Amino acid sequence: METKMKLPTIGHIGYIVEDIDNNIKLYKNILNINDFYIYNFKPMRAWVDAEEIYDCKMKIAMGVMENGIKIEFIQPISGATTPHMIFVKKKGSNIHHIAFHVKNYEDWRSYYKEKLNARIIFEAEAEDEVIGYRRSFYSRVANTDGVIEISEIPWKRK
C-alpha cells in the first residue's frame, strides 16, 4: 500500500436532513437538480465505532447538479446511535460529509485507520438488485471536525 494515496474526484456531497421531501423541493430550484433517485436504505450489516448495530434505516435521495456534482440527502429513520441520527438531533438539516467512490475499498480503509489515524465512526455493507453490492465507511481523521466517506464502487455479485 502506498504511503500517501490520491483521492479520486468527489463522489458526492452528503446532507443529513430531518425532512427529505421538503429538502428535495427546496434544493431542486436552489441547485438546479431535475430529479432525485429516492430509495429506502437498510444495510445488511452496519457498525458504529466498530460495534455492530441491527436497527439502521434511512431514506436516501441522490441528485445531480448541472455541473455533475452529486448531492445526497439522508433522512435517518432508525438507529439511535448512528452518526446520522445523532447529527440531525444536534444540528438539524445540514451538510455532513464529502464522499469519494473507490474500487480498492480495503486499501482505503487500512490507509485511513493506519496512516491517517482516523476513527471509523460508521460502516455499512449493503446489496440490492438495483445498485449491487457495496461497502462504505465514515471516518473522522484525528484533530479534524469533518467527516469523509469512502464508498466502494458498486458491483454485481454472481
* Distance of alpha carbon 145 from alpha carbon 143, whole angstroms: 7
At which residue does the C-alpha cell 448495530 appear?
Answer: 53
Pick the CATH number of 11-152 from 3.40.950.10, 3.40.50.720, 3.10.180.10, 3.90.1150.10: 3.10.180.10
The pLDDT value given to residue 129: 81
What count of other Cβ atoms lies within 10 Å of the Cβ of residue 143?
Answer: 6
- Over range 21-40, report the average pLDDT: 93
The pLDDT value given to residue 7: 87
Band (pLDDT 50/70/90 cuts) for residue 2 is low
Q: Are 136 and 86 in contact (CB under 8 A)?
A: no
Domain boundaries, the chain: 11-152
Residue-wise pLDDT for 80-118, tens only, equals: 999 999 999 999 999 999 999 999 999 999 999 999 999
Q: What predicted TM-score, i.e. pTM, was given to this entire model?
A: 0.92
